[in-house]
Amino acid sequence: MAHIKKKKKVETPPLSTASLPDIVFMLLFFFMVTTTMREVTLLVKLKKPQATEIQKLERKDLTTYIYVGAPKSAALGTEPRIQLADQLASVGDVQQWVILQREAINEAERTKFTVSIKGDIDAKMGLISDIKQELRKAQALKLSYSANPAASAEELFKSF
């Protein structure tokens, strides 16, 4: 008797998704730890200069940012302006504002207070110097000129 053997299908076992939550949680925690919310909306055009001798600013909570650049909105002209927190300000406001920012830090760590100037490459030194003078008046003497890392000095010169 001819017996037709039915070819048995080789079944692949279903992929177990039981460990999926674990993987997702792992990613979740990673992003939760590394995340920082963007705290300001930039009102000025900002293209940071490049440099090689840069140092990391370790403590974000001890750092205050001053943005300098031409306003994004054309109605405000093309002359570089200062942005403190969420609004454009004038040089005269800097001192008061920096003092207020420093007051917010707990007293033991106030000496580590750093101001980071995020300046646009097209800004002129006149304005930056005025800010520096205001910072000196406010006794905020630790300053960082924010810059993007450049691979080498040669590369830096090429951009001129």
73 token code pair:
């909105």
Structure tokens, 65? 């940012």
With 0-12 / 13-18 / 19 or more C-beta atoms within 10 angstroms meaning exposed / middle / buried, residue 54 is middle
List the one residue out of 93, 113, 94 whose CA is nearest residue 103.
113
Which one of residues 87, 112, 139, 155 is an interface residue with another protein (CB under 8 A)? Answer: 139
Relative to beta strand 63-69, strand 114-119 is: parallel
Q: Is 149 in the site for another protein (CB under 8 A)?
A: yes
Q: Which of 1, 2, 15, 125 binds another protein (CB under 8 A)?
A: 125
Instruction: Name the one range near another protein by CB under 8 A: 6-14, 49-57, 71-79, 86-94.
Output: 49-57
Least distance to another protein, CB of residue 86, Å: 17
Query: Does position 144 bind another protein by CB under 8 A?
Result: yes
Determine if 133 is a binding residue for another protein (CB under 8 A). yes
- Find how far residue 66's CA is from the centre of its chain: 12
Using the rule CB under 8 A, is 101 a contact of another protein?
A: no
Selected from 20, 42, 76, 104, the binder of another protein by CB under 8 A is 20
**Angstrom distance (rounded) from CA 143 to CA 135:** 9
57 forms part of the interface with another protein (CB under 8 A)? yes
Shortest reach from residue 41's CB to another protein, in Å: 13
- Nearest CA to 115 among 87, 94, 88, 130? 94
Picking from 66, 81, 147, the residue whose alpha carbon sits closest to that of residue 114 is 66
By CB under 8 A, residue 10 contacts another protein: no
Where on the chain is the footprint of another protein (CB under 8 A)?
A: 17, 20-21, 24-25, 27-28, 31-32, 34-38, 49-57, 60, 63, 65, 68, 114, 116-126, 128-129, 132-133, 135-137, 139-149, 153, 156-157, 160
